[in-house]
Structure 1
Amino acid sequence: MKLNHVLSVDQFDKALIEELFYHANWISKAKGHSISHLRGKLLANLFYEASTRTSSSFFAAMSRLGGRVLPINDVTFSSVSKGEILEDTIRTLACYTDIIVLRHPEKGAAARAAAVSPVPIVNAGDGVGEHPTQALLDLFTILAEQGRIDGLSVTMMGDLKHGRTVHSLSRLLRLYDVTVNYVSPPELRMPPDLVRPADREVVELDEVLAGTDVLYVTRVQKERFESTGDYHYALTEDHMARAKPTMSVMHPLPRVNEIPLSLDADPRAAYFRQMQNGLFVRMALLMYLLG
């Protein structure tokens, strides 16, 4: 199986995931250093939305592989401000670079870009659609933290309606034998097409906390909808006291108030290890696409 673009987690099967994770694990042992497999290659970081982790992660991944990066992190100062359409921007950047990482506020934008691009397109988030590389690094983190994927109980909590990270992760977990719980207010539930009959949807974390192996917390994405409701869901020290001693807490970041700083020292807090794993997984993916 060979990918030309990375647009959705639906493109991945177990064999391809295992191949990527094999190389990501090898890279992690070297901490990403001295691996110059992509020397001479150029990556375009095209971000129509604000980003810290994903943008810098791809920048660091390409740089550590010996390649270079053309950063376009504020389209206000590009030809987009003059009304240039996405397809023309992609065609232009493809003339200069070997691969394009795209974040865009519109669902389906990555597929539009891939339709006209002669170089690989990597979807770094398309509105409320998907964020496939985030899901891959999340899965890699679950495996690293728990030592397995099959047989686990994974609970996702927060804004599940607008969170593209949980949309992609829920799709990816379908490949494995896992129990999935969704915790959210009714207004922010997971889209129905992503919920399997065996999945459990609840309003309160306490309903599923005791059996949870991996707790994936997300922020409420207020920038994607208009509401006056108070949808704040937070993990507390009391929750952690009642949770499994082996439970892993993950968060795609940025966090607002979902996880207090006091929990950062808890060995079960895996979210910064999760960020570092993103570097290793994205390095492996770039090697695969440009290999």
Structure 2
Amino acid sequence: MLMNRHLVKPDDFSVEEINSVLELGMDIKKNPQNYFNKCEGKLMATLFYEPSTRTRLSFEAAMNRLGGRIIGFSDPNASSVSKGETLEDTITIVSKYVDIITMRHPVSGAANQASAVCPLPFINAGDGGNQHPTQTLTDLLTIKSLKGDLNNLTIGMCGDLKYGRTVHSLAKAMSRYSGIKFVFISPDELSMPKSVKEDIDGVEFIETSSLEDSIGNLDILYMTRIQRERFEDKNEYERLKDSYVLDMEKMDKANKDMLVLHPLPRVNEISVEVDSDPRAVYFEQAQYGMYVRMALIMKLLGID
């Protein structure tokens, strides 16, 4: 069903197809020994045009755990990009060597550009402030595993909602499930883009600048960092960077079963004291990312 497909944005897959990836990811977490050699003989390229820790290493860990191998780069200056090679030519050449390609790029729309010329399964590992579909799959697997369901949830998204590709993708993905409500928590300058709100048309949401007033109504609190690298005006970043800090005082106002997610890395938007709260699942969330990427790789390669 998903063999030889591209994943550029979450809605490239139907809800049923997403659920099939999540179910496989849950089984991989439960029975990892059953999957150690599933991709033996397969080769994946990881092309990372901007810095990444979790996404790149989780993809590489996923392929290694499946028995496959990896080639690629984590610095475009170490490739022919530094000589002026076009993105299309890079993808075309690399596709001659591997079975599947994963790419992270700082320019919004680069994933569409790359996938258009890619004859192999292509995975968008994040393109600028646009989309980050495998982080969305990570978030969905985390929520489904820990909450038991993806329906009937009130989800708070807090921080940089303007530039945060993770919240853009997650809002669109979660809006496809039933009984979903969103609370968008941000400064006016970093509010959820109009285009995202239009994409979730028909789903209830409110916008507020107050985390304290909202936290008690949430099933999920999705924290984000204020992204310095997305700001052209660094003074604007300095003014907004400490807009929200989640600490135990705020956590005391939250429901006992609320989950705190964060795509990471964090800067100072979650106090270290929150790490010991059982509702803080962002490090566990990173591990779920490896399992869901293992499942995605298998699905796109047509491996059962």
Give the shorter-chain TM-score range. over 0.9
Q: Does 1:217 align with 2:219?
A: no
Q: CA RMSD in A?
A: 1.3
| Secondary structure of 1:258's aligned partner | coil
In structure 2, distance between residues paired with 1:33 and 1:68: 18
In structure 2, distance between residues paired with 1:127 and 1:193: 16
Most deviating of 76-85 and 248-257: 76-85
Instruction: Report how far residue 35 of structure 1 moved.
Output: 2.3
What amino acid maps onto 1:44 in structure 2? A
Q: Structure 2 length as normaliser, TM-score?
A: 0.93
| Secondary structure of 1:242's aligned partner | coil
Instruction: Report how far residue 108 of structure 1 moved.
Output: 1.0
**Within 5 Å, which residues of 2 pair with 1:28-107?**
28-31=29-32, 34-107=35-108
| Secondary structure of 2:103's aligned partner | strand
- For 2:170, the equivalent position in structure 1 comes to 169
- For 1:158, the equivalent position in structure 2 comes to 159
Q: Does 1:138 align with 2:139?
A: yes
Segments of 5+ residues of structure 2 without an aligned counterpart are none
- For 1:2, the equivalent position in structure 2 comes to 2
What amino acid maps onto 1:101 in structure 2? T
Deviations 1:235-290 (A, max 9, x none): 11111011101010000000000111111111000101100100110000000001
Indicate if the aligned counterparts of 1:32 and 1:280 stay in contact, CA closer than 8 A.
Answer: no
Number of aligned residues = 291
**Within 5 Å, which residues of 2 pair with 1:194-205?**
194-195=196-197, 196=201, 198-205=204-211
- For 1:122, the equivalent position in structure 2 comes to 123
Report the CA distance shift for 1:10/1:207 in structure 2 as closer, same or farther (over 3 A): same
In structure 1, distance between residues paired with 2:78 and 2:291: 31
Deviations 1:141-177 (A, max 9, x none): 1111212221111000010110110110011011112
In structure 2, distance between residues paired with 1:226 and 1:87: 27
Runs of 4+ in 1 over 2 A off after TM superposition: 30-35
Instruction: Report how far residue 95 of structure 1 moved.
Output: 0.7
Report the CA distance shift for 1:282/1:161 in structure 2 as closer, same or farther (over 3 A): same
In structure 2, distance between residues paired with 1:149 and 1:114: 29
What amino acid maps onto 1:216 in structure 2? Y
In structure 1, distance between residues paired with 2:119 and 2:125: 18
In structure 2, distance between residues paired with 1:60 and 1:33: 16
What amino acid maps onto 1:67 in structure 2? G
Q: Does 1:260 align with 2:266?
A: no
In structure 2, distance between residues paired with 1:223 and 1:18: 33
Indicate if the aligned counterparts of 1:36 and 1:66 stay in contact, CA closer than 8 A.
Answer: yes
Most deviating of 119-128 and 225-234: 225-234
In structure 2, distance between residues paired with 1:19 and 1:136: 11
Percent identity at matched positions?
47
Instruction: Report how far residue 31 of structure 1 moved.
Output: 4.1
Segments of 5+ residues of structure 1 without an aligned counterpart are none
